[in-house]
Structure 1
Amino acid sequence: MVRGKYVLAVLLVMLMSGISLFGCTRVSKQTSQSSIDVKSKYFSSEKVMPKARRARVTFRVDVGSFKGAKKVRMWLPYPVSNKHQAITNVGISGNYANSGIYSDGKLKNMMLYTEWTNPQVVPDISFSFDVKRSEIIKKDFPDSEETSIDPDIKDYLMPSGLVSTDGAVKETAEKIAEGKTSALAKSEAVYDYLVENYKRDDTVKGCGQGDVCGLLNSKKGKCADIHSVYVALSRSVGVPAREIFGIRIPKESEGDMTKAYHCIAEFYMPGYGWVPVDASDVLKLMLKENLKLDDPKVKDARSYFFGTQTANYVEFGTGRDITLNPPQEAGKLNYFMYPYVEVDGKALDYLSQKDFKYTVIYKEL
């Protein structure tokens, strides 16, 4: 009888501890929520009231290369409200035949689509909106980091056309992140590597193409270049990361912001969320004012732009190798930030301001 009670007690202990009698181990809730200790030199627990900006922004586009065309099609990034920006009072006007607001689906990038059939006058459109933007401050990193990643987030570990995650990219990333175990530590190491080893190149058109393999050798570029490298290196060592494409409101109260397009990056810290980084703006400051890494201004900017994004930034969307909606005819788009126009299926150069012209103006509210 005593022996029977002993066996029963053993069975109860095995069941309570999650050990199966048939060779399968039940993963406890505690295991799925396991965490690793993390620390960052960019950590800050200071409670700061985020700054804010409000402005009226207007995009104006005229397509000069339209004569003899059967169909002209245009897609404009359509910013939407989120936790950090509120988009209101949208106005759309022009001489288009059809228009609509669409999503590209999986990435959830929104766009304003317009088309003209057999146009007899210059196709034009005006797109305006009010934006209230708040500064993003995400520097109060927790002491520990979860190890599991949401399935939807894992898409941001995948390579794209110009953003490779293997070969020389992976080798470089593994050297940079050697000994680092958390997403935060790896991201910090990649950020520091870019700030310390890359340079801004003002000869690059627009924001750059973000061709990571070439950038590994040249180590210079503009914002889309720098943050494409950031994304590639981060993904190579298991940290979800993405580029964010948008435009910045200048410091003045009103004026032209056509040349203010800007790309930043974000990495995902499990259990904490997406964290903004902007190594490009640190490099821009260094070039503009001819400063070295040990300059106090550079140190301040370097600390600020890991985990913070200014109130001047208006987000459009993310992703590479974009298929627009309705789908474009000239092949996938490297990224969707500038106005994109096709005339009878042929893509026009959105950087030259030759085949079609666009301006972006703003006024503080």
Structure 2
Amino acid sequence: MRKSLKFVLLLGTVGVLMAACGNKASSNVESTAKGTEQSTESVAATEKSTEKATEKAEVSEKKMVEGTVNNTVDLSKYEKGKKVRLWIPVPQSSEYQTVEDVKYDAGNAKAEMNTDDWGNQMLYVEWDENAEPTDRVVKLDLQVKREEIVSPELKEDEKAELPEDVKKYLEPSKNLPLNDQVKNKAAEVTEGKTTDLEKARTIYDWVIANMNRDESVKGCGEGDVCALLDTTMTGKCTDINSMFVALCRASGIPAREHFGIRINAEDITKNQHCWAEFYLKGTGWVSADPADVLKAVLKNNWTKDQAETKEKQEYYFGNCDAERMILSDGRDLTLNPAQDGEALNDFGYPYAEVDGVKLDNYTPDQFVYTYSFAKKA
């Protein structure tokens, strides 16, 4: 009987110990599970934090340029008794640039802000025959913030319809005709290419391979595409980028040029620049600047095949630096009010007439005008 009782007591003790161990094990499992959950949550939080940090870093890597632009025009060198009219291109805010606090001082002269049929903004100033020559001075100041264009993912949707406001960039202009010469060259360059993106990239690469920058060209060049095809295939930014635009249009791809000025120094009087964009259905406007690639080749004495050139070539197809400001768009322009002279090839410079005769706006020291830029610290 005592043995049986001891056995029962022993079994009971063992049972209690097993239950206690079981509870402890269960507690350990639950603790481990909770730990795993917390660890998983921690990893997820870390991943989210890393994603946000990466996004923030990508945003911060996009370069910005901000500062004050001053444009002074002095037409006092022309004698009294002449009617003098002046048009100054005034930049506007757009997708990648913000223009604020535009101010001007034209003294007692007639002055007004106008826009032309292309939507370009301009300051128009007029002095009659009785004005004192020393009064013919105008100052224009503005604040600008320019953002670097970072290439988006280039997606093409061939079934998409072109927006109405884009269709005009398929039309020819005086120096960018869509004649047989231009169409045949476009067909030759893009042979075997089927999509607009393939064609645009092929034209871009062809322009870089077959054109060269010529420092002797006046201003930014005239961008006379047929003359370029007939002769040396050399020029400056308007010549080089006009070739790109004309061949794109001849291939059925809308393309345009921006005329502006670089904001990369204190004295930017002679820093005018022209660059291009093409329209890709499914993406929108895409930047392209073969002229800046060829400028880098010339200035740095690079070959077109070396790594530095190829790096620039990749960058300027889709990307665009922040050190530039758009002044105007379009070719064959009629200003507002209309000028007496012929249509403007472009409006990247101040334009003036004395008694109805155009001044040479490619020579700022004769015109006379200056541009300056004070970068914000």
Kindly provide the amino acid, as one letter, of the partner of residue 180 in structure 2.
Answer: G
Aligned to 1:185: 198
Aligned to 1:157: 170
Residue 229 of structure 2 corresponds to residue 210 of structure 1: no
2:72 to 60, 80, 83: 60
Aligned to 2:280: 269
Report the TM-score when normalising by structure 2.
0.81
2:256 to 229, 242, 260: 242
What is the Cα deviation at residue 148 of structure 1?
2.6
Alpha-carbon displacement from aligned partner over 1:28-65 (angstroms, at most 9, x marks no partner): xxxxxxxxxxxxxxxxxx95642101111100111144
Change in Cα spacing, 1:182 to 1:47, as seen in structure 2 (3 Å) is farther
Contact in 2 for aligned 1:65/1:355 (Cα 8 Å): no
Kindly provide the amino acid, as one letter, of the partner of residue 240 in structure 2.
Answer: I
Contact in 1 for aligned 2:364/2:370 (Cα 8 Å): no
Alignment of structure 1 residues 111-150 onto 2, 5 Å = 111-118=122-129, 119-122=131-134, 123-142=136-155, 144-150=157-163
The RMSD of aligned alpha carbons is: 1.6
Alignment of structure 1 residues 241-320 onto 2, 5 Å = 241-250=255-264, 252=265, 255-320=266-331
Alpha-carbon displacement from aligned partner over 1:58-97 (angstroms, at most 9, x marks no partner): 0011114431444211001110111211111222113351
In structure 1, distance between residues paired with 2:154 and 2:183: 26
Alpha-carbon displacement from aligned partner over 1:329-358 (angstroms, at most 9, x marks no partner): 112111111000011111111112354211
Report the TM-score when normalising by structure 1.
0.83
Aligned to 1:229: 243
Q: Return the structure number with greater helix share.
A: 2
Q: What percent identity do the matched residue pairs reach?
A: 41
Aligned to 2:84: 72
**Which is greater in Rg?**
2
Contact in 1 for aligned 2:113/2:121 (Cα 8 Å): yes
Kindly provide the amino acid, as one letter, of the partner of residue 245 in structure 1.
Answer: F
| Number of aligned residues | 316
Aligned to 1:220: 234
Alpha-carbon displacement from aligned partner over 1:224-265 (angstroms, at most 9, x marks no partner): 011111111110010000111000111x5xx20111100000
Moved more, 347-356 or 306-315: 347-356
Q: Return the structure number with greater strand share.
A: 1
Contact in 2 for aligned 1:177/1:186 (Cα 8 Å): yes
Residue 112 of structure 2 corresponds to residue 100 of structure 1: yes
What is the Cα deviation at residue 150 of structure 1?
2.0
Contact in 2 for aligned 1:52/1:311 (Cα 8 Å): yes
Give unpaired runs (5+ residues) of structure 2.
1-56
Alpha-carbon displacement from aligned partner over 1:112-164 (angstroms, at most 9, x marks no partner): 11111122123110101110110012331126444432232111111111111
Change in Cα spacing, 1:96 to 1:207, as seen in structure 2 (3 Å) is farther
Aligned to 1:171: 184
